[in-house]
Amino acid sequence: MEEKVYADLIEKLKQKDIRGFIQEIKDKNEMDIAEFLTELPDDKITIVFRMLPKEIAAEVFACLDIEKQEKIITSITDKEIEYIIEELYVDDAVDMLEELPANVVKKVMRNAKSDTRKLINQFLTYPENSAGSIMTAEFVDLKKNMTVRESFERIRKIGEDKETIYTCYVTAADRKLEGVVTVKELLLSPYETVIEQLMDKNLIFAHTTDDQEDVIELFSKYDLLSIPVVDKEDRLVGIITVDDIMDVMEQEATEDFEKMAAITPSEKPYLKTGVFTLAKNRVIWLMLLMISATFTGDILMRFEEAFSVVPLLVALMPMLTDTGGNAGSQSSTMIIRGMAVGDIEIRDIFKVVWKELRVSLIVGFILAIVNFLRVIIMYPESTAVAFVVSISLFATVILAKTIGCTLPMLTKACRLDPAIMASPIITTVVDACALTIYFSIAVAVLHL
Amino acid sequence: MEEKVYADLIEKLKQKDIRGFIQEIKDKNEMDIAEFLTELPDDKITIVFRMLPKEIAAEVFACLDIEKQEKIITSITDKEIEYIIEELYVDDAVDMLEELPANVVKKVMRNAKSDTRKLINQFLTYPENSAGSIMTAEFVDLKKNMTVRESFERIRKIGEDKETIYTCYVTAADRKLEGVVTVKELLLSPYETVIEQLMDKNLIFAHTTDDQEDVIELFSKYDLLSIPVVDKEDRLVGIITVDDIMDVMEQEATEDFEKMAAITPSEKPYLKTGVFTLAKNRVIWLMLLMISATFTGDILMRFEEAFSVVPLLVALMPMLTDTGGNAGSQSSTMIIRGMAVGDIEIRDIFKVVWKELRVSLIVGFILAIVNFLRVIIMYPESTAVAFVVSISLFATVILAKTIGCTLPMLTKACRLDPAIMASPIITTVVDACALTIYFSIAVAVLHL
């Protein structure tokens, strides 16, 4: 919403021009109204929320974040709660209830009608990140013996409250999914056509227990607007719409970013996460990695004499380990991301290793040459050291890229999340290898 | 497509049962047919492609990757090319033409009708990653004085070839966008209602020159199925549909992953990118970072004496720099991602720094204690070194997290892409700082 409109609404509220306020706000997008409410001082939110026309109140409520929802729920009447919970799509209701404290959940559920309560309770049982946990129950179902005309009548009658009307689902008497038909097909067909002739029987659907990542893949592959979700008996129990899938895509990518930076993922946005939660999500991985680095220290202690004699070897260490870590992280990032979006499969492992090997030969060679020149320019007396570190760099880059591409694929093959085999772990592993190579070559070449 | 269906289709082809093959394939999803074609040996693709019924050929063609498209284009007749290019949505045609070699582009353009050619040429001029570059021209436009009945007639007439019919765009005589109306609203309204009364005048739209990331934000915020794109004079020139936005979201996230791993992003999937391109995209950043690490080497050379006397100081270096790098990367990743999805704004910088400071105090303290215990257990004689390294660790974690959160935000404030201030650069900066702190404390405490 523009600044001017915002200021105008505030002005109307200050002058207690409620009628003018409602007149102005009722045509706004519900997301903009929710943003407007969020900017208000806490004690005003509920007051202004209650001024909203009934028909938009539930939609605006669904756009608010959980803190504001809780504030409103705890200060409105039971009747108002009943209205909101009945109007909310079941997926939005479930999202909210999963976050609210138990006593508030009780208050909400007490006010829901028995059918809604049953539905919500059923939806609450689906495991996290499953198709069931993100689906909603508001879809248009048709029967295959209906005509296009009858279908339109049904859509007109029940369509208002459905999350999408553009894809309709054809079910049998036992609620088994038989086909899908789009409103586009209905619109482009004569009124007397029977749905059975129009419907697509090549069903693309998900099971309630499918992982949400698999559902994302179906959406991207088939360019869907919604997907039906069936239970174990192939009965249609819900649908997932593309707007919810976009949120899930964003959330999954964020989780991968966090895992790849050695952070335990959290669902809440950064600014709303407490300091202790943030610290907890980070310290565990940092500690594991710190303790793993003990190995590297051990390796170094074995070469104590070498670096006491030639201190330049120590000065060049960070360059070597950082470059190795970066080279390995590049490979692991590309492979992890490639597997996440479905471009790379486990069966491609040999293709990948062969490719990385050739890339690392080129990259390693160029870096080694540049590094050799740099070292002899800066330390003209130390050609032998320059030689040692450049050879080590070459070997390290090759090793780092090989480790960087194989570890994520092996992790995936073990059915673990490859995203953990990212920069932090790769760096630690590569460090140990790089330093072993480096000092072994140094001892041999420099006769230390 | 299931294995069985696939084998069945191959069998029909082998037996030259063309009629049976067409019968079987024509109800399949176009994406599945494209996959089937892709699995065929190269010399068979065009032959089988030409067997496809005309009405699905263009759709299947749009789903093929660029190599297969090129193969087909170069071996079919001019008439067939004309048919395909006229049937393709203009965004798919543009995507293809941007990738094809010049001589093939010429062949295609020669066969396009003059209107199509003009449209394609116009679309080809929009800058990369702009809204214009991802939009398409196939939308349903209505006039505000039409009734619902007339609108449905128009949709029936022109809807077949439109990328979406579910949101219709109301334009004035000068092609300026005046409103949008959904098919849902049309379906739920009486036939005599005039569009002007139904249409939403609160327009959410993009300009052709807007960045595609801004368009993604509009889609996520307002849960859109499509968005109108207007030119400088506010005339409607195209629309972007949600399926294309999902592809762009995936592509933008991939780019961020690559940038954050110090890789120059490329558009092609990993397995289709050549070894030299991969090497080029990686070596530049690696070299810059390698040369930056020279600073760290310089710093170390200043403390040459210190580590000749106490070699354990060297052995603990990787643990210190790795932990610092990891701690800094955690912060920078969270901030970069938070800014990418719109959770964190530049104005939040003080909130962010204050939060990171508190997190780093907790995390740094815990790590320092654990590390102190580990070192005195492993090297009982070296309590003083254990003290030095643990104090340095504490300071490094605080510094790393402060650098990790501020650098991306400052980069964004300078209108540069914050994703470059990720793990690799943070690690290099933190290394130099950590080692300076470490050896300065060592010299002071151990009187070296």
* Span B381-409, pLDDT tens digits: 999 999 999 999 999 999 999 999 999 99
Name the fold adopted by B270-446.
Tetracycline Repressor; domain 2 (1.10.357)
What pLDDT does residue B369 have? Answer: 97
Cβ contact, residue pair A282, B359, below 8 Å: yes
Strand-pairing partners, residue A182, are: A167
Count chain A–chain B contacts defined by CB atoms under 8 A.
Answer: 330
Q: What does the domain layout of chain A look like in residue ranges?
A: 3-128, 141-241, 270-446
Q: Residues, chain A, total?
A: 448
CB nearest A246 (choices: B184, B219, B279):
B219
Q: Residue A183's pLDDT is what?
A: 94
**Nearest Cβ partner for A370 among B271, B287, B363:** B287
CA pair distance A120, A135, nearest whole angstrom: 11
Cβ(A12)–Cβ(A20) under 8 Å? yes
How far is B4 from A289, CA to CA, in rounded Å?
48
Residue A293 has its nearest CB partner, among B311, B319, B335, at: B319
For residue B1, pLDDT over 80 is answered with no
How confident is the model over B4-28, as a mean pLDDT? 84
Residue B268 structure tokens: 């092609």
Q: How far from A218 is each of A203, B249, B254, B269, B379, CA to CA, in Å?
A: 12, 15, 18, 18, 56
In the prediction, which pLDDT does A308 show?
A: 84
Q: Which residues in chain B are closer than 8 Å to A333, comparing Cβ atoms? A: 257-258, 260-261, 263
Q: Do A187 and B366 make contact, defined as CB atoms within 8 angstroms?
A: no
Counting every residue written for chain B, the total comes to: 448
Q: Would you state the pLDDT for residue B29? A: 87
B-chain residue closest to A310, CA distance = B308
Question: In CATH terms, is domain B3-125 a member of 1.25.60.10?
Answer: yes
Q: List CB contacts (< 8 A) between A335 and chain B.
A: 270
**Do the chains contact at A431 and B298, CB–CB below 8 Å?**
no
Whole-angstrom Cα distance, residue B62 to residue A310? 63
What is the distance in angstroms between the Cα of A148 and the nearest Cα belonging to chain B?
Answer: 13
Superfamily for domain range A141-241: CBS-domain (3.10.580.10)
A28/B202 CB distance under 8 A = yes
Check residues A388 and B2 and name the one with the higher pLDDT.
Answer: A388
Q: Which residues in chain A land under pLDDT 50?
A: none
CATH architecture observed for domain A3-128: Alpha Horseshoe (1.25)
Residue to test with chain A: of B245, B282, B392, B405, most A Cβ within 10 A:
B282
Percent residues over pLDDT 90 in chain B: 63
pLDDT band at B295 (very low <50, low <70, confident <90, very high): confident
Q: What whole-number distance in Å separates Cα of residue A267 and Cα of residue B336?
A: 16
For B204, the closest chain A residue by CA position comes to A29
Average pLDDT of the residues of chain B: 91
Q: What ipTM score was computed for the predicted complex, to two decimals?
A: 0.86
With contacts defined as CB-CB under 8 Å, which chain A residues touch B297? 315-316, 318-319
Please give the average per-residue pLDDT across B53-82, as a whole number.
Answer: 89
Nearest to B371 among A165, A183, A290 (CB): A290
Best of A56, A268, A275, A309 to disrupt the B interface (most B CBs within 10 Å) is A275
For residue A56, what pLDDT is reported? 86
Contact A311 B315 (CB under 8 A): no
* pLDDT score recorded for residue B128: 87
Contact by Cβ (8 Å): B144, B200: no
Smallest CA–CA separation between A110 and chain B, in Å?
31
The answer, yes or no, to whether residue B342 has pLDDT greater than 90, is: no
**Rounded-to-integer distance, Cα B96 and Cα B109, Å:** 12
pLDDT at A1: 62
Question: Contacts of residue A297 in chain B, CB cutoff 8 Å?
Answer: 315-316, 318-319
Q: What is the CATH number of domain B141-240?
A: 3.10.580.10
Q: Do A300 and B314 count as a contact with CB atoms less than 8 A apart?
A: yes
**Nearest residue, CB atoms, A326 vs list B156, B221, B262:** B262
* pLDDT at site A239: 95
**CB count in 10 Å sphere of residue A84:** 25
> What pLDDT was estimated at residue A98?
87
pLDDT at B24: 84
